[in-house]
Amino acid sequence: RPIVYWFRRDLRLADSPALVAAARAAGAEPIVPLFVVDPRAGRGAGPNRWQFLASCLEELDRQLGGALTLRRAPGVGGAAAVAAIVAGFAAEVGAEIVVASGETTPYGRRRDRIVAERLAAEDRRLLLLDTPYCVAPGRLRRTGGHPYRVFSAFYRAWLAEPVEAPYERPAARFDALVSDGEATDLVDAAGRGYDVSPSWWRDLPLGPAPHLPAAGERAAIDRLTQFCESALPQYDRHRDRPDMAGTSRLSADLHFGTLHPRTVRDAARKTVEGPALDRFLAELAWREFFADVLWHRPDAAWHSWDPIGRHLAVDDGPQARERFTAWARGETGYGLVDAGMRQLLSEGWMHNRVRMVSASFLVKDLHLDWRWGARWFLWHLVDGDIASNNLNWQWVAGIGTDAAPYHRIFNPDRQAERFDPDGAYRRRYCADLPARLSIVNHKAERAEALTRWAAAKAAVRHESTAD
């Protein structure tokens, strides 16, 4: 019997244990590759991520010799619609087994449960292997079986896990088997999945970004090779400098699975050792930590992990929206924040240091809800990822795991002096900008943020004594 291979966040042929297993199960029979465009899974993603996905799929289809079948779930259908499509496809091609790489997001897990049930009802099976992580979320536990709450302890456990070598690309025969009567134009089908942004974003720049990175497995491997040859040896010294090409820029590849982190980790270990390697592995582990946190606390995607977040007063109304608009357009008057927000609009990516500074500015200088900013980032970022994005936002806001002391509030000018000392980064994105007055006074807003924090803390104390 042929085997259906359902591609999701693993848009590659190399280093894929699930694909290896599918090839073994198929034997002499073909593997029938399927991708389901699922607007529910891409909810909140703007054109940048959809375009990147479409390019990944185009290349994947080329690698599969044109055998990839693309089906599109209706926007509102969610998991049940996807289940109907996968089950219908398996029946059409006469497959009993559907193989896929495991999903770990709250929606992905729910959807896979529903798909598995639907297939089981028809005497078929969904076989899930591997995840988009080196260590599957949910696997590492503290003594007593409790989930990790602090990165440093998680990281020690993560490092101690045995490292698998990357898997070879299997020798398999791919065949579409059925001619696809539905949308065969990948770009068009993926592009139609756009979500609706909040209506008051109407006048804001929603993309697409003019300078998106090259997408697909080949481009990802090239990026990894280039990074190992150039920036990795100085990673620990240059990673915080937005004016330098000091980081890997592999985040979108890891998100869509054109590379597995196993491959990245293996390449890094073979290239360097010492502080550069340690620092790089720690960043890969942050990604895995946040996926682990979300695994245990699916509600933490949009509700603050720490109860204090529920009590923190945020601004709303027309002035708050005006301030958000200035932030989103890169017109706050703070050079590093503005350059970052403009890099986001132009490339669908922003340097990590600047993500931290601009996120902090939204929360602590503008006193806006972190979710507004998280949503804007998710819309534009090519690497937009519910775990990494939303838990990093909470980390910056001081309401997530590992909360840094709240009074450590980034001063955007001081950050610019330290990490963009010659102003090269700011000039690159804001050269055409006339010098403008800052929309707020950092010193005054810092004091305001601390007052609100103290009030929230008192409210939490009150709540716990009232219990």
Contact footprint for ligand FAD (CB under 6 A): 239, 247-251, 254-255, 283-284, 286-287, 290, 352, 355-356, 359, 377, 381, 383-385, 388-389, 392-393, 396
**What is the spatial distance between Cα 274 and Cα 276, in angstroms, rounded to a whole number?**
6
* Nearer residue to ligand FAD within complex by CB, 344 or 456: 344
Q: Which of 201, 327, 349, 370 is catalytic?
A: 370
126 is in an annotated binding site: no
* Nearer residue to ligand FAD within complex by CB, 300 or 396: 396
Q: Is 6 a catalytic residue?
A: no
Q: Please enumerate in sequence order all residues whose Cβ is within 8 A of that of 306, keeping only pairs 6 or more positions apart, or say none.
A: 394, 398, 399, 400, 401, 403
Structure tokens at 346: 């132009």
Q: Which of 372, 393, 395, 453 is catalytic?
A: 393
Q: Please enumerate in sequence order all residues whose Cβ is within 8 A of that of 320, keeping only pairs 6 or more positions apart, or say none.
A: 314, 366, 367, 368
* Nearer residue to ligand FAD within complex by CB, 5 or 290: 290
* Nearer residue to ligand FAD within complex by CB, 59 or 385: 385
**What is the spatial distance between Cα 419 and Cα 244, in angstroms, rounded to a whole number?**
10
Minimum CB separation of residue 221 from ligand FAD in Å reads 15
* Nearer residue to ligand FAD within complex by CB, 18 or 381: 381
H/E element holding 71? strand 69-72
251 is in an annotated binding site: yes
Minimum CB separation of residue 17 from ligand FAD in Å reads 20
From the centroid of its chain, how far is CA 436? 33
Q: Is 379 a catalytic residue?
A: no
Q: Is 48 a catalytic residue?
A: no
254 is in an annotated binding site: no
For residue 32, the cross-strand partners are: 4
DSSP H helices, 106-231, are: 106-121, 151-160, 186-191, 217-229
- Cα 229 to Cα 92, 100, 272, distances in angstroms: 47, 33, 10
Q: Is 370 a catalytic residue?
A: yes
Minimum CB separation of residue 36 from ligand FAD in Å reads 22
Q: Which of 96, 352, 411, 448 is catalytic?
A: 352
Q: Which of 283, 331, 411, 448 is catalytic?
A: 283
* Nearer residue to ligand FAD within complex by CB, 5 or 235: 235
283 is in an annotated binding site: yes
* Contact by Cβ (8 Å): 193, 75: yes
453 is in an annotated binding site: no
Q: Which of 305, 327, 349, 395 is catalytic?
A: 305
Minimum CB separation of residue 267 from ligand FAD in Å reads 12
Cis peptide before 47 (omega within 30 of 0): no
372 is in an annotated binding site: no
Q: Is 305 a catalytic residue?
A: yes
- On the 0-12 / 13-18 / 19+ scale of CB atoms within 10 A, 465 is exposed
285 is in an annotated binding site: yes
Minimum CB separation of residue 35 from ligand FAD in Å reads 21
286 is in an annotated binding site: yes
Q: Is 283 a catalytic residue?
A: yes
What's the one-letter identity of residue 93?
A: V
Minimum CB separation of residue 357 from ligand FAD in Å reads 9
**What is the spatial distance between Cα 236 and Cα 234, in angstroms, rounded to a whole number?**
6
**What is the spatial distance between Cα 4 and Cα 124, in angstroms, rounded to a whole number?**
11
Catalytic (active-site) positions:
283, 286, 305, 352, 370, 393
Q: Which residues are annotated as a binding site for FAD?
A: 235, 247-251, 280, 283-290, 383-385
